Amino acid sequence: MTTAGTARETITRTGPAAARQHTLRERNLELVARAVYEVPEPLSRAGVAAATGLARATVSTLVDQLVAAGLVRELPAVTGGRAGRPAVPLVPAPRSVVGLGLEVNVDYLGARVLDLTGDVVTDQVVPGSFHDSDPAAVLGRLGALAREVSDGVAAEGMTVAGARLALPGLVDPRTGLLEVAPNLGWSSLEPVPLLGLGDLDVRVANEAKLAALAELAGGSDVAPPDSFIFVSGDVGIGAAIVVDRELFLGERGWNGEIGHVVVDPAGPRCSCGAFGCLEQYAGKEAMMRAVGLPPVAPLDALVAHLAEGAALPDAGRALGSALADFVNLLDVGTIVLGGAYTELLPWLRADVEAVLDDRVLAAPFVDLQVRAAQAGPQAALTGGAREVLRAVLAAPAAWV
Amino acid sequence: MTTAGTARETITRTGPAAARQHTLRERNLELVARAVYEVPEPLSRAGVAAATGLARATVSTLVDQLVAAGLVRELPAVTGGRAGRPAVPLVPAPRSVVGLGLEVNVDYLGARVLDLTGDVVTDQVVPGSFHDSDPAAVLGRLGALAREVSDGVAAEGMTVAGARLALPGLVDPRTGLLEVAPNLGWSSLEPVPLLGLGDLDVRVANEAKLAALAELAGGSDVAPPDSFIFVSGDVGIGAAIVVDRELFLGERGWNGEIGHVVVDPAGPRCSCGAFGCLEQYAGKEAMMRAVGLPPVAPLDALVAHLAEGAALPDAGRALGSALADFVNLLDVGTIVLGGAYTELLPWLRADVEAVLDDRVLAAPFVDLQVRAAQAGPQAALTGGAREVLRAVLAAPAAWV
């Protein structure tokens, strides 16, 4: 919610009767916005009235407000077969209100802007190496990137509704605190002020959770299942649990830390301090080393090596082992592999599936599915931008 | 639901109007029963009317029906300070309608009867060794025990409302099928007909899930937290996930299989076929062997050895490792240890907590709690009997 939106709310809420009226109007605006955004074919005002059960006149006023606010766009009128005025189809507004996804990961920084139609307006991903980095310097750099991107879209007349900052670690969305990101070497800090983005509403979230939301949003050829484990493989490995199309967050949103599941207690020491964690076998740097590449080599180099006959049996078996634990403990039958794993899956699949078959107690009775993510690279950027826009559409009254 | 109850429903439901009436009466009966059972102090009819918002006359009729059905008992009237008739306090009916909990575990069979007040009416636990046993023989024996117990309570005028059969494996409550119970050596069978209990409504469930429900019911000095991981340690080790006082069951109720989480891929072969599962380190038989006792020795013998200075460092560290995986993946901060672990916790705690501290990424930021279960031995028997009675109270109309 923007500062402007908050101020407007404060002004309108001057007493109980005003509050009730405001609430009713808010709810009706949500209903109308949801009809425009969720019904697959474009509706006219009359169609929105039919879909929401609201009066035609009410709908017309609310649609006018949503159009003026830049949340809904009118297409040219079409004359249908029926009598009466030609219908004006209503659609999500392109290049109007936009959401900003930001991310610091171990080997890149990124900023991505999505508009309300789901289109990527602009996208900046800067490779780097941020192991044991200085949070103020890195977040300052990402902040500069974010400002550049924001200024660019603002110059084209768009409004940035807010941002989500994805981090590979334990974050508390309520306090905005990052507790720990082992691979960055960051702990106990408040990242948002270090971005220096002034009044922009920026919230922090875990990278894998935002990437899972991008996956859930679909938009690709294969619809995601209602329940799945999403694993985001990079230098670190995070996961998210989706049950009935909702993130299952545990008590504090600190679940899905599959990167630190025990693969072998006699294994190498991990950035978290423990021994034999999954990341030491199936993290991106471990996989680079396994084929003789420098740990900071780009993913393309690893893929090229694999295409020429290199193999990743240890990574595949380790990933299978940790996933087997996950499935044994949670009973979710579909595993979606994202991040670097999306491209690497052809070389990991056989080992992953063999270990799942060996170790999942229910394997003979269920059809365990391992599939590649569909949301594209740096999915947390997409998921973060989408989350901003989802919040806008859940409370459109702040925008009109 | 009994056959009598089902028949009555069929008779009453003779048309839409009758069905509507029946449904309203059903709902009101539930409201009245819930008021009697859930309000801590005994209510009078007037108190039930106030608590439910139903008319005094309606409540009076429904209470009379619940009393006649044996679900509610009237205490002697007490004259309060106020004018009017003396109030008759209403309480759960003791020794009337009862639930039967049944269990086959690797080292015992059991049958336990609870009444609506939560009291144990009778309890039979028979030690044995049922590794790789014949399901027909074992379930036949448990069926005989169940008949003996049922006949006993029936002779005292009680009515057995149904039974739950707890099994240490993957069960499908909808089909009544046991997919696999590795330690029993059982797979792909329908256990209920093998009990030979005729028309009695018997349903199967996983042992750890029923034990967790017993824990959730409380009744002891320390109330359980709203969310916890419950681990039931016996020859096999199962677990249940409780979130906001509800079982979280995953897709098929086959979650919580912590006994088969990887502790060490170079470890011994498990009954499930995989290597280095938790059960091979922290299962009851593994612990017996670790202190030089025969695997089938009673728990008391192990406790005596430990009291004399024996130790279980491998079991403690292995349990800590699997629990760390569970907490990293799920983010639930309280772990309740049941089954044999309840008594063994003093000798396991230091190792479990040390490994949790080392391996749980969020350990520095949360107050991880490891506590002993409160629901007593063979808690699945208690949980099963309670589930039967919970179903009765959720649909009391079938009983009046």
ipTM confidence: 0.88
Q: What is the pTM of this model?
A: 0.89
CA distance B343 to B373: 9
Give the largest CA-CA distance in chain B: 78
Helices B207-217 + B379-394 axis angle, to 10? 70
The 10s digit of each residue's pLDDT in B149-184 is: 999 999 999 999 999 999 999 998 889 999 999 999
Task: Please provide the size of chain A in residues.
Answer: 400
Under a CB-based contact definition with an 8 Å cutoff, are residues A24 and A62 in contact? no
| CATH annotation of A97-212+379-393 | 3.30.420.40
- Residues pairing with A104 in the sheet: A109
**Torsion sign, CA atoms B261, B267, B268, B273:** positive
The amino acid sitting at A287 is: M
| B42 close to A (CB below 8 A) | no
Q: Which two tokens stand for residue A155?
A: 């110059």
Quote the pLDDT of residue B173: 80
A chain contacts of residue B329, beta-carbon cutoff 8 Å = 239, 255-258, 261, 325-326, 329-330
Distance from CA of B88 to the nearest CA of A (A): 44
User: Could you tell me the residue ranges of all domains in chain B?
Assistant: 3-93, 97-212+379-393, 225-372
**Residue spans of alpha helices (H) in chain B:** 3-12, 16-38, 45-52, 56-68, 135-155, 191-195, 207-217, 279-282, 284-290, 299-307, 313-330, 340-359, 379-394
The 10s digit of each residue's pLDDT in B200-213 is: 999 999 999 999 99
CA distance B228 to B364: 19
Q: Which residues contact A230 (CB under 8 A, 6 or more apart)?
A: A208, A211, A212, A215, A239, A240, A241, A242, A336, A338, A373
pLDDT band at B378 (very low <50, low <70, confident <90, very high): very high
Please give the average per-residue pLDDT across B48-52, as a whole number: 93
Task: Inform me whether the pLDDT recorded for B20 exceeds 90.
Answer: no
| B121 close to A (CB below 8 A) | no
pLDDT band at B22 (very low <50, low <70, confident <90, very high): low
Please give the average per-residue pLDDT across B77-94, as a whole number: 80
Task: Inform me whether the pLDDT recorded for B319 exceeds 50.
Answer: yes
Task: Inform me whether the pLDDT recorded for B14 exceeds 50.
Answer: no
Task: Inform me whether the pLDDT recorded for B86 exceeds 90.
Answer: no
Quote the pLDDT of residue A307: 97
Task: Inform me whether the pLDDT recorded for A4 exceeds 80.
Answer: no
Quote the pLDDT of residue B82: 60
B chain contacts of residue A239, beta-carbon cutoff 8 Å = 329
CA distance A231 to A208: 7
Quote the pLDDT of residue A8: 28
**Torsion sign, CA atoms B300, B305, B311, B315:** negative
Under a CB-based contact definition with an 8 Å cutoff, are residues B182 and B270 in contact? yes
| Out of B14-23, B77-86, B387-396, least confident range | B14-23
The amino acid sitting at A42 is: P
Report the topology of domain A3-92.
Answer: Arc Repressor Mutant, subunit A (1.10.10)
Please give the average per-residue pLDDT across A171-191, as a whole number: 94
B chain contacts of residue A264, beta-carbon cutoff 8 Å = 264-266
Task: Inform me whether the pLDDT recorded for A17 exceeds 90.
Answer: no
Residue A38, burial from CB neighbour count under 10 angstroms (0-12, 13-18, 19+): exposed
Do the chains contact at A274 and B239, CB–CB below 8 Å?
A: no
The amino acid sitting at B313 is: P
Which of B206, B237, B328 to mutate to test binding with chain A, by most A CBs within 10 Å of its CB?
Answer: B328
pLDDT band at A20 (very low <50, low <70, confident <90, very high): low
Note whether A97-212+379-393 and A225-372 share their fold: yes
Quote the pLDDT of residue A219: 59
Mean pLDDT of chain A: 91
Q: Which residue in A251, A258, A274 is closest to B329 by CB distance? A: A258
CA distance B337 to B331: 17
Quote the pLDDT of residue A190: 97
Quote the pLDDT of residue B3: 29
| B247 close to A (CB below 8 A) | no
Task: Report DSSP letters for B102-134, one per residue.
Answer: EEE-SSEEEEEEEETTS-EEEEEEEE---TT--
Task: Count other C-beta atoms under 10 Å from residue A341's C-beta.
Answer: 26
Quote the pLDDT of residue B220: 56
Helices B313-330 + B340-359 axis angle, to 10? 60
Size of the A and B interface in Cβ pairs below 8 Å = 132
The amino acid sitting at A192 is: V
Distance from CA of A249 to the nearest CA of B (A): 8
Task: Inform me whether the pLDDT recorded for A40 exceeds 90.
Answer: no
| B314 close to A (CB below 8 A) | no
**β-pairing verdict for B228-233 and B170-172:** unpaired
Residue A296, burial from CB neighbour count under 10 angstroms (0-12, 13-18, 19+): middle
Hunting for tokens 């009444």 — which residue is that? B115
Do the chains contact at A361 and B258, CB–CB below 8 Å?
A: no
Please give the average per-residue pLDDT across A213-232, as a whole number: 84
A chain contacts of residue B324, beta-carbon cutoff 8 Å = 262
Residue B24, burial from CB neighbour count under 10 angstroms (0-12, 13-18, 19+): exposed
Task: Inform me whether the pLDDT recorded for B234 exceeds 70.
Answer: yes
**β-pairing verdict for B334-339 and B228-233:** parallel
| A324 close to B (CB below 8 A) | yes
Looking at domain A225-372, which of 2.40.128.110, 3.30.420.40, 1.10.260.40, 2.60.260.20 is its CATH number?
Answer: 3.30.420.40
| B313 close to A (CB below 8 A) | no
A chain contacts of residue B227, beta-carbon cutoff 8 Å = 251
Q: Which two tokens stand for residue B344?
A: 């063994």
Residues 356-375 of A with CB under 8 A from B: 358-359, 361-362, 364-366
Under a CB-based contact definition with an 8 Å cutoff, are residues B368 and B327 in contact? yes
Please give the average per-residue pLDDT across A278-301, as a whole number: 97
Candidates B18, B29, B84, B79; CA nearest to B52 is B29
Hunting for tokens 């007909």 — which residue is that? B193
Task: Inform me whether the pLDDT recorded for B9 exceeds 90.
Answer: no
Name the percent of chain B lying above pLDDT 70.
92
pLDDT band at B340 (very low <50, low <70, confident <90, very high): very high
Task: Report DSSP letters for A33-64, one per residue.
Answer: HHHHHHSSSPB-HHHHHHHH---HHHHHHHHH
Q: Which two tokens stand for residue A348?
A: 């990991």
CA distance B284 to B391: 33
Task: Inform me whether the pLDDT recorded for A120 exceeds 70.
Answer: yes
Quote the pLDDT of residue A80: 64
Sheet strands (E) in A293-391: 334-339, 369-372
Q: What CATH architecture does domain B3-93 belong to? A: Orthogonal Bundle (1.10)
Task: Inform me whether the pLDDT recorded for B76 exceeds 50.
Answer: yes
Give the largest CA-CA distance in chain A: 78
Quote the pLDDT of residue A218: 72
| Out of A59-73, A134-148, A185-199, B22-36, least confident range | B22-36
- Please tell me what DSSP assigns to residue B15: S
Inter-CA distances, A21 with A2, A11, A278, A399, B227, Å: 22, 13, 54, 17, 39
Task: Count other C-beta atoms under 10 Å from residue B389's C-beta.
Answer: 22
Do the chains contact at A182 and B361, CB–CB below 8 Å?
A: yes
Candidates B120, B115, B114; CA nearest to B72 is B115
Distance from CA of A177 to the nearest CA of B (A): 12
Under a CB-based contact definition with an 8 Å cutoff, are residues B171 and B177 in contact? yes
